Amino acid sequence: MRVFNLAFLRKNFIKLCLTSYVFITLILILILLSIPNKFTSVGIYAPAEHLQGDGLSGLAGSLGGLAGLAGLNLNTSKRDSLQIALEIAKSKKFLFNLIENEDIKAKVFAVKEWDKETNTLIYNEKIYDAQTNTWVRDEPEPEPTTFEVYKVLKDNLTINFDEKNTLVKISYVHVSPQFSYWLVSKIEKTLNSVLKERNINDAKISIELLENSATTTSNIDLKGLLYELVEEQTKKLLLAQSRQYYILEPIDPPIVPEEKSTPKRGLILISFTFVYFLISALILVYFRSHDKE
């Protein structure tokens, strides 16, 4: 019986191969069509012009020791400032605040697909009821925690730093092209705002500390150096207050993508066809080589 089956397989291999290819391909097409399209919005950013030393590099040599005592860093490079900013953007604290402040839990965690004709999000009914805005997961706590949402967001968010060109690339993948664009833009704006506010506060504290030190010291030379630091910190403060883009400046700002990024159905089908017929050809060669024997 086994010999008969093997002989039948050898004799009808090409016919069976083509039949199974059509059958498997149809199933694969149905699976691919069931996968929702996803869109990727990408923004490319350069460091803001003022970042090189924050305007303080000229004093680094003569005032470095004194600045260190005052808690100031005069040697912060453009690269260092960018890397710190990007680590903040990737941090749990930053993304947790973004999720909670912008109320995007449902859009990140529960969206199933996007309706192009009506431009509306379709939610997974087993997770979220969009009509009543309530979570309906079959869990002790139906609403996902911020950490659960953070994990989904982080899986679809990419923040890369090109050290050679000193450029930053931020991208996000989502079923909705509008939301993908919104999130990339929001991360850039929020990061600029957070760091701008933080550095403004730092500069104000530094100015107050330096002015207090200058008024209490009787050393004329030291007093002069302290007021030079006050002047530089004041410049830093005014610069921060006047800058729209404090840390990242758009070079190629994100747009609402018009073409899907995944799934690449055509490429998947072509790859499957190539692998399928390659394996089939190898099996056919094997059968014919044994037939000759």
pLDDT, tens digit (0-9, with 9 covering 90-100), for 163-209 = 888 889 999 999 999 999 999 999 999 999 998 888 888 888 888 88
Question: Residues of the chain with pLDDT > 90: what percent?
Answer: 46
Enumerate the H helices of the chain as residue ranges: 2-11, 13-34, 60-69, 78-90, 92-102, 105-109, 146-156, 177-216, 220-242, 265-292
Q: How far is CA 137 from CA 22, 36, 129, 143, in A?
A: 39, 21, 10, 7
Which pLDDT belongs to residue 83?
Answer: 84
- Quick one: average pLDDT of 204-233? 85
Classify 135 as helix, strand or coil.
Answer: strand
Task: Tell me: do 271 and 249 sit in the same domain.
Answer: no
**Residues paired with residue 157 on neighbouring β-strands, in sequence order:** 172
Task: Tell me: do 191 and 273 sit in the same domain.
Answer: no
Which pLDDT belongs to residue 239?
Answer: 80
Task: Tell me: do 252 and 282 sit in the same domain.
Answer: no
- Quick one: average pLDDT of 56-70? 46
Buried b (16+ CB within 10 A) or exposed e, 154-174: eeebebeeeeeeebbbbbbbb
Task: Tell me: do 104 and 4 sit in the same domain.
Answer: no
pLDDT for 122 beyond 80: yes
Distance (Å, rounded) from C-alpha 133 to C-alpha 142? 12
Distance (Å, rounded) from C-alpha 196 to C-alpha 240? 6
Q: Which amino acid is at 195?
A: L
Instruction: Provide the 8-state DSSP code for 246.
Output: S
pLDDT bucket at 225, cuts 50 / 70 / 90 = confident
Q: What is the CA radius of gyration of the chain?
A: 30
Q: Which amino acid is at 121?
A: L
DSSP string for 95-134: HHHHHHHHT-HHHHHTEEEEETTTTEEEE-TTTEETTTTE
pLDDT for 74 beyond 50: no
Which CATH number is 215's domain given? 3.30.1890
pLDDT for 17 beyond 90: no
Question: Residues of the chain with pLDDT > 70: what percent?
Answer: 84
Task: Tell me: do 104 and 115 sit in the same domain.
Answer: yes
- Quick one: average pLDDT of 202-217? 86
On average, the pLDDT of the chain sits at 84
Task: Tell me: do 158 and 210 sit in the same domain.
Answer: yes
Q: Within its chain, how far is the Cα of 32 from the centroid?
A: 25
pLDDT bucket at 5, cuts 50 / 70 / 90 = low
Task: Tell me: do 104 and 151 sit in the same domain.
Answer: yes
Q: Within its chain, how far is the Cα of 160 from the centroid?
A: 8
pLDDT for 53 beyond 60: no
What is the span of the domain harbouring residue 28? 1-35+263-293
Task: Tell me: do 227 and 245 sit in the same domain.
Answer: yes
Task: Tell me: do 192 and 113 sit in the same domain.
Answer: yes
Which pLDDT belongs to residue 79?
Answer: 67
Which pLDDT belongs to residue 77?
Answer: 56
Task: Tell me: do 5 and 48 sit in the same domain.
Answer: no
Task: Tell me: do 191 and 242 sit in the same domain.
Answer: yes
Which pLDDT belongs to residue 50?
Answer: 56
Which pLDDT belongs to residue 16?
Answer: 84
* Count of domains forming the chain: 2
Which pLDDT belongs to residue 76?
Answer: 52
Between residues 27 and 12, the one the model is more confident about:
27
pLDDT for 67 beyond 60: no
pLDDT for 115 beyond 50: yes
Between residues 67 and 82, the one the model is more confident about:
82
pLDDT bucket at 1, cuts 50 / 70 / 90 = very low
Classify 143 as helix, strand or coil.
Answer: coil
Q: Which amino acid is at 174?
A: H
Supply 221's token pair.
């030379």
Backbone angles phi, psi at 166, to 5 degrees: 55, 50
Which pLDDT belongs to residue 29?
Answer: 92
- Quick one: average pLDDT of 122-144? 93
Task: Tell me: do 9 and 154 sit in the same domain.
Answer: no
Of 149, 184, 177, 158, nearest in space to 37 by CA: 177
